[in-house]
Amino acid sequence: MPIYEEKLQKDVTAIKEEVVKLGGMVGQALTDSLTALFTGDEKLANMTVLRDFPINRQCARLNKQCHNFIVRHLPSAGHLRMVTSVIQMVMELERMGDYARTISREAIHLHQPPEGNILRDLKIMAEHTQAILRQSMSAFATEDVELARSTLKDSSQVSVDLNVILNDLVTFCGQEGGREVAMRMLDLQTISYMLERVGNRAANVCEEILFILAGETVPQRIHEILFLDADNSILAPMAEVIARKGYSEQARFRSAAWQPAAECSSAMVDFMRHHGFNMQNIAPKNLQQIIPELGGVHIIIGLNSPVGQNGLEVPFHTVALEWDVGPLPGGNALGENAGRFEEIYRTLVANLAQLMELLNGEEGV
């Protein structure tokens, strides 16, 4: 085989392998979001929301790979059809990842799994949807035309499943307010969802226009992250200053508590200063002051305590995490508590590194 053809085939194979990898990531996200929905596992749902960031990065890598392929090989006929179709597939898979993320957010805000006929029919629809995604990626990986055709034919079953679930919802809601009220509620929900999707797609168009006309790219997202603990005297302030020192270009960090102490632990302040951290302007803060701005917080991290305690309503687009960092040091003297502070410090550093890699990838760390 000539060297050029060998290089061409190598690049084609590499693109296909990355598409299969992306399909696996999206499939896992869908599985996890549905598991969270059916079991009421809010921790899994929150992590599934965050795992949409690696999916988006994989989509961006694939798009760049396809564009480089076009520039390098100036493909025609079959290869051009392949690469343009892959670009479209990447867009569709990215949207599927977005939908898995939305399912996870809905699972969180339901607070309990669906029941009865709705649960049964949702599981049936989920099985059909997952099978269609799985078979479509298998058809791509194995170049199986017949499997692609049969999967496309089978996909119509999902619309049938949707109608069944809508009837379930109408029946359920109709028991309280009547069928007409239930239908109106579902119609309004669908309208609002469609409007959101239009707005998001229009924003994507604006981003492309800015790139074409001005060469502007979308700036890296700055995440708003809030640490919560019992009294904001030790754990959350430690996490805040560690995060600010290591990741200030990638996120903005704050800390608070429902019942803040009068001041930070002097032992904690001494420990952090000894490790080179600036503790000026670090004082316990009341969560009540932040609640009006909570809708703009992307991630809330509860340290040794659930985020939702004391009736805190987590906004729909906010992810809630819980980090167990072990028991608190006792007393205000650093000496006998130095070892425990060191363990907490290392746990926070490791958890922050994992979180920021998840949000931004290895290149962002």
Angle at 198 between CA 196 and CA 204, to 5 degrees: 105
Is residue 118 one of the residues assigned to a domain? no
Q: Which residue has the tokens 């290591």?
A: 246
CB atoms within 10 A of CB 83: 19
Is residue 26 one of the residues assigned to a domain? yes
Is residue 97 one of the residues assigned to a domain? yes
CA-to-CA distance for 306 and 294, rounded, in angstroms? 16
| Domain span at 19 | 3-113
Is residue 145 one of the residues assigned to a domain? no
Is residue 169 one of the residues assigned to a domain? no
Bridge-based pairing state of the strands 319-323 and 251-257: unpaired
**Contact at 8 Å (CB) between 226 and 216?**
no
Mean pLDDT across the chain: 87
Residue at a domain's end among 87, 113, 139: 113
User: What mean pLDDT do residues 166-180 have?
Assistant: 73
Sheet containing 319-323, strands listed edge to edge, beginning at the edge strand earlier in sequence: 251-257, 223-229, 299-303, 319-323
Phi, psi at 186, each rounded to 5°: -65, -40
Residue at a domain's end among 113, 141, 169: 113
Q: Over 80: is that where the pLDDT of 52 sits?
A: yes
Q: What is the pLDDT of residues 272-321, one digit of tens each?
A: 999 999 888 889 999 998 888 888 899 999 999 888 777 788 888 899 99
User: Can you give the pLDDT at residue 194?
Assistant: 55
Residue at a domain's end among 96, 113, 130: 113
User: What mean pLDDT do residues 192-219 have?
Assistant: 66
Q: How far from 315 is each of 132, 210, 255, 298, 312, CA to CA, in Å?
A: 32, 31, 17, 9, 9
Q: What is the pLDDT of residues 312-354, one digit of tens each?
A: 888 888 999 999 999 988 767 777 888 999 999 999 999 999 9
Q: Could you tell me if 227 and 101 lie in one domain? A: no
Angle at 239 between CA 234 and CA 245, to 5 degrees: 130
Q: For residue 32, how far is the Cα from the chain centroid?
A: 12
Q: What is the pLDDT of residues 190-203, one digit of tens each?
A: 665 556 666 666 66
Q: What amino acid occupies position 98?
A: D
User: What mean pLDDT do residues 140-149 have?
Assistant: 89
Q: Give, to the nearest 10 degrees, the angle between helix 338-360 and helix 266-274.
A: 70
Largest CA distance in the chain: 76
CA-to-CA distance for 323 and 301, rounded, in angstroms? 7
Among 237, 250, 247, CA closest to 344 = 237
User: What mean pLDDT do residues 171-197 have?
Assistant: 66
Instruction: Say how many domains are in the chain.
Output: 2
Q: For residue 154, how far is the Cα from the chain centroid?
A: 29
Q: What is the CATH number of the domain that holds 337?
A: 3.40.50.2300
Is residue 138 one of the residues assigned to a domain? no
Q: What is the CATH number of the domain that holds 77?
A: 1.20.58.220
- The SS3 call for residue 321 is strand
User: What mean pLDDT do residues 5-33 have?
Assistant: 93
Q: What amino acid occupies position 332?
A: N
**Contact at 8 Å (CB) between 20 and 137?**
yes
